[in-house]
Amino acid sequence: MADKTLAGTPPGSGWSPLDLRDDTDDLHFVPAPCQTACPIGTDAPSYIGLIWEGRQLEAFEAITATNPFSSVCGRVCDAPCEPACRRADSDGPIAIRNLKRYVMDELGTSIHLDPVQPTRDKSVGIVGSGPAGLTAAQDLALAGYKVDVYEKFDRPGGVMQWGIPAFRLPPRILDEDIDRILKRCAGITVHTSTALGEQVSLDELKARHDAVLLAIGAARGKPMGVPGEDHALVEDGVGFLRRINAGGERPTLPETVLVVGGGDVAMDACRMAKRLPGCKKVKVVYRRGPGEIPARKDELEGAIKEDIEFIYHAQPAEIVEKDGGLALRCVKTEPGEPEEDGRRAFRAVTGSEHDIDCGMIIAAVGQTGDCDELCERGLINTDRVNTDFESMRTEDPQVFGAGDGAFGGSTIVVAMHHGHKAAYYIKQYLEGNEAPLPYRTPYRTRRVEVAQDIMWEKYPRQEQAFHGLGAKPADFPEIESKYDRETAIAEAARCFRCDAETGTADYSVRNREDIFLMARMQPGEAKSQAAMLQKRLRPREILIAPEQPASFDDIVFLPANLSRLVIDPYREACRTDTELGGGIALQHPYLVTGFDDAPDEVRRAVARAVQKTGCGWLGRTRPEGDISWLHLLKPGEAPDANAAAAIYEIGGSFTAFEPERASESQLVGLSVQGPALATAIPFALENRLELMVLDGTRGSELAGPPDLTVLRDAIRILRGLNREEEIDLIWHGGVRSGTDVAKALALGGMAAAVGVSMAIAAGGTVSGSAIAYAGDRTFEERVSAAEYLIQSMAAETSIMARCTGKTNIHNLEPEDLKTITVAASEATGIPLAGTR
């Protein structure tokens, strides 16, 4: 459970929905299909990623950033994101809605942000407290306006309050969201039981407020238009839902109930009827086929699971009394040609009249907007508030429209989109901006890392447990229960994370998405093809910065193909044994370094691995065990007799000194930085020193990329003197892999020092300019990790040699290399690929 004491402190950045930064132009982000399918642009991939990481508070932030009804949506959102999910095509979409519910159930009531006070003089009157009205209210209040919401009903919430039954949406969930909105937005006042046209008139509102928003929904049930429908046993669906949901009634129903219609009201009415006392059988009568029914898929499935019968292709013609009950006289229909909205038309089949007997009929065949005053003033056109979708304006410049009342029946999330959009245009209007930029849903990313769950490809979609009617149906217990933690994490792991940048520059998220689009474009369709061409012609960002320092990564090997005999890497060995200065024999060309000040256990573990793998040790103090030790010391200090070599640290400026040997067999060398090369090399040759450590670390390996010019210059000086063979060069700087070592060898080195990489393998973490070790590993684990690192590096170094056709890593030569940046070409003297 996340830390609730954080309440009031906005987690993440830009918490307020109104100063959302739009990331649409970010070069490493393309909004995922789920995000663009969401009318309010919910950053679902981020919250899914955060859930996987257990960062619930941040997930809560991502969810609620643009969605004031997040708790409601966790249960009953239409979730257009899910069919858009790319995983829908493989093994089922991510259960984005269930994941939202998981977070909201955990945190929904516990987090309240500091109230925002009104800061402006102007005020807005909003009629209707459904999702459209309250979303606009929140946006405007957060922008500093005073907002008065007028609601006809005695409680706010619109359909969410009176329409959606408790078994799908317990009332406390709606209260939770409204409570969050009102606690946060000090500028909102809700006037319940105040209907436009009854308690208040439009003129009054226009006088009181600088702008008015009509978000009145569509809640007047349409009649079926058949004889007999005014019978007492025929009830309008909206009224039925309202008296039971909001009124709390639990009437006893006749045994068989018919519901006519196939939309939202029909679905909730039939499932509600099924739960009421007396009712045994519920049948839904719908005039078209199962392919055309507008009901949400999960609701339809729920109803079927609850044993509700669906009668398709039946068109009511008349209602008659029969045996003390009713009969719905229907005609059969058959499909006709597809209509404009894609649904098929239907026509009645002659002579197909039949009766469906029942005790009660609930008519749920559509709703219209409901306000006589607006009708009288000509603001309602047939059944909607006449609103321009581009500007959300009505004919009255001071009055705006939004939601189902303006654009017809939709969904909660679409109504919220209208709310955001209306608030945007109202603000522009209040600020006197007559030609505002068109509203655009912002797409924001929280740049959450991709879940590192090894099961992500395998987990199937996780469903919530379904309980159906429950033990006491009339109490309307919830139909589903939320995920537990494990299930939520498993579901979150499944996300493809279409929003996240990929691991490859060529098939970056932008390129990948364009390829996806091209694959879905109509061939030869000039307009879209031309538009895509323009997109693709845009130059890419410059990925190799001109000022970027040369690095090992900018050097590549040239493989053997036809011009050289290819070595079979899986069957032919490649030698890595290394002899330094004619006296030190190593299994691999690696000298481990940098452990003089490491914790004793780490030092001993690494030394053990070095001994086991036959590598060398470069350091000031003597390692434990039988190891070739290259003793680092300052001029003037005495070399240790146990050391295989004495390496005098010269650094960047050279002054002549007396190099010593502790014994005849001990080798001697210098460790030199770039500026000292010109004097140190002749000195070393003169004194017949066997070794030279080329220090390209720029002071510390952790400082950044190594200075490759040290290697280049040393070779140039030696070559100039024609004495390349007389001294063995050991590279020190930025070695991260066996490949880096192979490059150092090809450039002229005989071995390389491995410092930071070994520290990381031994359990160290880079923290700033130092390595920190935690006590989280056993001695044996450290030994094994160090040993494994050396083994993998040895494999890498030899693979590079084999690719170039060599069976001994020491046969690598500059001729096997090319560079891929101008900087690297200059720093190493190796030609750029493609050039000579």
Partner 1 sequence: MQSLGSDAMQVEPTAEDLTGIRTFSKIVNAGTKLRYKNPEPQRRNIPFFTFSGTSDYWNEKVQEDIYIKSQMGRYRIRGYGAARPLPHLTDIAFKKDLSQAGQDPDLLKRVEMRMTLGDKHGARPLDLSMPVMIAPMSFGALSRSAKLSLAIASRLSGTAENTGEGGMMDRQREAADQLIFQCLAGRLGWNVHDMQRANGLEIYISQGAKPGLGGQLMAKKVTRELAAIRGIPEGIDLRSPSRHPDVLGADDLVIKVEEFREATGHRIPVSIKLGAGRVRDDIKIALKDKFDYVELDGLQGSTGAAGAEVLEHVGIPTLAAIQEALDALAEIGATGQLPIVLMGGIKDGVDAAKALALGADAVAVGTSAIIAGGCIACMQCHIGNCVVGIATQDPEHEKRYNTPAEAVHIHHFLEAMRWQIAAITDGLGYSDVKQLCRDDLVATTPEAAKITGLEYAPQFRDPNLQLRAS
List contacts with ligand FAD (CB under 6 A).
76-78, 127-133, 150-153, 158-159, 163-164, 195-197, 215-217, 219, 241, 264-265, 268, 370-371, 403-405, 409-413, 415
**Which partner from the list partner 1, ligand FAD, none does 432 bind, CB cut-off 5 to 8 Å by kind?**
none
Question: Is 788 among the residues that bind partner 1 (CB under 8 A)?
Answer: yes
Tell which positions 725-754 bind partner 1, by CB under 8 A.
Answer: 734, 736-739, 743
DSSP notation for 623-637: PSSS-EEEEEE-TTS
195 interface partner picked from ligand FAD, partner 1, none, CB below 5 to 8 A per type: ligand FAD
Under the criterion CB under 8 A, does residue 774 sit at the interface with partner 1? Answer: no
Rounded to an integer, what distance in angstroms lies between the CA atom of residue 150 and that of residue 175?
18
By CB under 8 A, residue 109 contacts partner 1: no
E strands, 489-566, where? 555-557
Q: Min. distance of Cβ 279 from ligand FAD in angstroms?
A: 18
For residue 102, the minimal CB distance to partner 1 (Å) is 22
Nearer to ligand FAD, 131 or 734 (CB): 131
Instruction: Specify which residues 593 forms β-bridges with.
Output: 618
Q: Which one of ligand FAD, partner 1, none interacts with residue 532, CB within 5 to 8 A by kind?
A: partner 1
Nearest CB to partner 1, comparing residues 479 and 555: 555
Report in angstroms how near the CB of residue 266 gets to ligand FAD at its nearest. Answer: 8
Distance between CA atoms of residues 276 and 476, nearest Å: 9
| 538 interacts with, out of partner 1, ligand FAD, none, CB within 5 to 8 A per kind | partner 1
Q: Looking at residue 580, what DSSP letter applies?
A: E
Residue 768 interacts with partner 1 (CB under 8 A)? no
- Does position 595 interact with partner 1 (CB under 8 A)? The reply is no
Closest residue by Cα to residue 711 from 828, 592, 591: 828
Centre a 10 Å sphere on the Cβ of residue 227 and count the other Cβ atoms it contains: 12
Establish if 28 lies at the interface with partner 1 (CB under 8 A): yes
614 binds, among ligand FAD, partner 1, none (CB under 5 to 8 A by kind): none
Looking at beta carbons only, is 110 or 502 nearer to partner 1? 502
CA–CA gap between residue 610 and residue 352 (Å, rounded): 91
Which residue, 452 or 665, is less far from partner 1 as judged by CB?
452
Q: Which of partner 1, ligand FAD, none does 410 bind, CB closer than 5 to 8 A by kind?
A: ligand FAD
Report whether 28 contacts 501 (CB < 8 A).
Answer: yes
Of 619, 599, 536, 623, give the one whose Cα is nearest residue 779. Answer: 599
User: Which member of 821, 827, 828, 829 binds partner 1 (CB under 8 A)?
Assistant: 821
* Contact flags string 416-455 toward partner 1, x per CB under 8 A: ----------------------------------xxx-x-
- Looking at the Cβ atoms of 51 and 132, the one nearer to ligand FAD is 132
The nearest distance, CB 456 to partner 1, in angstroms, is: 7
Distance CA 325, CA 197 (A): 39
Are 348 and 220 in contact by the 8 Å Cβ rule? The answer is no
Calpha distance 832→794 (Å, rounded): 27
User: Least separation, in Å, of the C-beta of 152 and partner 1?
Assistant: 48
- Pick the closer one to partner 1 by CB: 381 or 791: 791
% helix / strand / coil in the chain, to the nearest 5? 35, 20, 45
Among partner 1, ligand FAD, none, the one that 268 touches (CB under a kind-dependent 5 to 8 A) is ligand FAD
**Is 101 or 497 the residue whose CB approaches partner 1 more closely?**
497
CA distance linking residue 59 with residue 96, whole number of Å: 12
User: Coil, helix or strand for 42?
Assistant: coil
Planar angle of CA 20, 98, 131, nearest 5 degrees: 50
Q: How many CB atoms lie within 10 A of CB 456?
A: 17
In angstroms, the CA 749 to CA 754 distance is 14
Q: Near partner 1 by CB under 8 A, which window of 100-108, 659-667, 687-695, 792-800?
A: 792-800
Q: For residues 345 and 44, what is the distance between their CA atoms, to the nearest angstrom?
A: 37
**Interaction between residue 472 and partner 1 (CB under 8 A):** no
Would you give the DSSP letter of residue 698? T
Q: Is 770 one of the binding residues for partner 1 (CB under 8 A)?
A: no
219 with 383: CB under 8 angstroms?
Answer: no
Nearer to ligand FAD, 36 or 192 (CB): 192
Q: Closest separation between CB of residue 383 and ligand FAD, Å?
A: 13
* Beta carbon nearer to partner 1, 315 or 757: 757
Query: What is the C-alpha radius of gyration for the chain, rounded to an integer number of angstroms?
Result: 38
Q: Is 833 in the site for partner 1 (CB under 8 A)?
A: yes
Query: How far apart are CB 200 and ligand FAD at their closest, in Å?
Result: 8
- Least separation, in Å, of the C-beta of 340 and ligand FAD? 22
User: Which of 239, 760, 807, 811: binder of partner 1 (CB under 8 A)?
Assistant: 760
Alpha carbon distance 125, 203 (integer Å): 11
**Dist CA 763 CA 782 (whole Å):** 7
Contact between 403 and 217 under an 8 Å Cβ cutoff? The reply is yes
CA pair distance 14, 708, nearest whole angstrom? 43
Q: Is 487 helix (H, G, I), strand (E, B) or coil?
A: helix
Q: Distance between alpha carbon 134 and the CA centroid of its chain, in Å?
A: 28
* Binding partner selected for residue 287 from partner 1, ligand FAD, none, CB under the kind-specific 5 to 8 Å limit: none
Among positions 522-541, residues that touch partner 1 (CB under 8 A) are: 522-524, 526-527, 529-530, 532-534, 536-541
Site for partner 1 (CB under 8 A): how many residues?
A: 120
Element (H, E) at 618: strand 616-619
- Decide which of ligand FAD, partner 1, none touches 499; Cβ closer than 5 to 8 Å per partner kind: none
- Cα 377 to chain center, whole Å? 48
Judged by beta carbon distances under 5 to 8 A according to partner kind, the member of partner 1, ligand FAD, none in contact with residue 705 is: partner 1
Return d(Cα 85, Cα 130) in angstroms, integer. 28
Q: Is 520 in the site for partner 1 (CB under 8 A)?
A: yes
Stretch that binds partner 1, among 243-251, 303-311, 490-498, 711-719 (CB under 8 A): 490-498
Q: 196 is in the binding site of which of partner 1, ligand FAD, none (Cβ under 5 to 8 A by kind)?
A: ligand FAD
d(CA 464, CA 484): 9
Residue 791 within binding range of partner 1, rule CB under 8 A: yes
What tokens does 813 get? 């030569």
- Confirm or reject binding of residue 54 to partner 1 (CB under 8 A): no
